[in-house]
Amino acid sequence: MSTTTETSRPALTILSEDEIAFRDAVAGFATDEVKPRVQQMEKAGKIDPALIRQYFEMGLMGIEVPEQYGGSAGSCTMVAIAVEEISKVDAAAAILVDVQNTLVNYPISRYGSDALKAKYLTRLTSDTIGAYALSEPGSGSDAFGMVTRAEKKGDAWVLNGRKMWITNGAEAGIFVVFATVDASKGYKGITAFVVEREFAGFSVGKKEDKLGIRASSTTELIFDNVEVPAENVLGPVGQGYKVAIETLNHGRIGIGAQMIGVAQGALAAATAYVKERHQFGKSLSEFQGIQFQLAQARTEAEAARLMVYNAARLTDAGHDIAMEGAMAKLFSSQVAERVTSVSLELFGGYGYTTDYPAEKFYRDAKIGAIYEGTSNMQLNTIAKAMLK
């Protein structure tokens, strides 16, 4: 595949011509279709259904899925590109795409039987949103301390328990759910299941009122004797921990992409503002103190971006990226917090109001250090990989 450097912006990352075209198409879509809806979706606490339909029509909800199941047969790098570009405009609109691709399509594609792939990937690429259900009220970072149970009864498994902090929970029709089939075996008793919203006994509970990414739904899931067909087991029974870990490794690239998008969006807004705002007879951009802050922020954002793309490239090449994915997520979330904070300050008092985008970028950045593994858990993963 021929490659070329990006020409539309001074970045170091090398993308193929096809990837550049894809990036530009998503960037244009984000500007034309996502941006006009941001304030309305933020206030409503809900993604516009019309926007979701457009995601499916563009193929953004099945980027890595094989064509035989209705997907685009793309790469992890393309997922990162899409999430990054949408996040420059709205992190909440981007996370819906990210979760669909990295936490739902990925494990079903990798661990699902041919029948499961045919049944669910075709829906996930055409009209159905998915969600990933691992966390519980009492098990966050200690994800495998879950209490949701799955008991075999005849040709089915019966699930009982609760899940918390489920992104896309309000909109999803298909869920990748983790439960233990034998608590005495610890993490080796964890098993993954594909659960449909219509299954009897399944319900969506409380929707959280959050600091940031407010248009993205975060909900509780309730399982009350939910009967799941035996063929809906995802991967071998008792191997759910492996499914969960590998999926989260993949997902951390998406969160990294979200964070570098947020950082770049905030920085672009601040850069434009300091050129327009005048104090002491000249624009803010003429003050060296302002210039140095912008330069530092741009350098950190670009470094984080390269780490995310490196992890994505390694994934596409078939490498284990447990450490690289953790480093990319850790650093990009740290950079997003710093860059959005600086960007808000450059707006002065206006940055603290909802009239300008700085405060939203600032609020949206914080989640990067929390979901899909807190920063402390990323440090733990990195250290273990180093000392292995």
Does residue 116 surpass a pLDDT of 70?
Answer: yes
pLDDT band at 12 (very low <50, low <70, confident <90, very high): very low
Name the token pair of 79: 């997922």
pTM of the model: 0.94
Please check whether residues 352 and 269 belong to one and the same domain. yes
What CA–CA distance (Å, rounded) separates 336 from 338? 6
Looking up residue 90, the CATH number of its domain turns out to be: 1.10.540.10
In angstroms, what CA-CA distances link 374 with 143, 269, 333?
12, 28, 10
Please check whether residues 88 and 198 belong to one and the same domain. no
Please check whether residues 248 and 234 belong to one and the same domain. no
Please check whether residues 62 and 173 belong to one and the same domain. no
pLDDT band at 6 (very low <50, low <70, confident <90, very high): very low
**Percent of the chain topping pLDDT 90:** 94
Looking up residue 149, the CATH number of its domain turns out to be: 2.40.110.10
Please check whether residues 100 and 135 belong to one and the same domain. no
**Percent of the chain topping pLDDT 70:** 97
Please check whether residues 39 and 107 belong to one and the same domain. yes
Higher pLDDT, 285 or 9: 285
Tens-digit pLDDT profile for residues 353-370: 999 999 999 999 999 999
Q: What is the DSSP string of 205-257?
A: EEEP--SS-TTS-EEEEEEEEEEEEGGGEESSTT-HHHHHHHHHHHHHHHHHH
Last residue of a domain, one of 179, 204, 238: 238
**Predicted local confidence at residue 300, as pLDDT:** 98
Please check whether residues 287 and 214 belong to one and the same domain. no
Please check whether residues 112 and 156 belong to one and the same domain. no
Chain mean pLDDT for the chain: 95
Last residue of a domain, one of 124, 154, 171: 124
What CA–CA distance (Å, rounded) separates 169 from 358? 28
**Predicted local confidence at residue 282, as pLDDT:** 97
- What's the number of domains the chain is made of? 3
Output DSSP code: residue 136.
Answer: B
Phi-psi region of 72 (alpha: psi -120 to 50; beta: other; left: phi over 0): alpha
Domain extent at residue 120: 3-124
Catalytic residue among 64, 84, 300, 372: 372
Directed axis angle between helix 49-58 and helix 17-29, to 10°?
160
pLDDT band at 4 (very low <50, low <70, confident <90, very high): very low
**Predicted local confidence at residue 387, as pLDDT:** 95
Mapped onto helix, strand or coil, the DSSP state of residue 174 is strand
Does residue 207 surpass a pLDDT of 80?
Answer: yes
Please check whether residues 134 and 257 belong to one and the same domain. no
Please check whether residues 249 and 356 belong to one and the same domain. yes
Whether 372 is catalytic is: yes
Please check whether residues 15 and 104 belong to one and the same domain. yes
**Predicted local confidence at residue 8, as pLDDT:** 45
Looking up residue 269, the CATH number of its domain turns out to be: 1.20.140.10
Last residue of a domain, one of 238, 254, 272: 238
Tens-digit pLDDT profile for residues 129-146: 999 999 999 988 888 889
Please check whether residues 247 and 368 belong to one and the same domain. yes
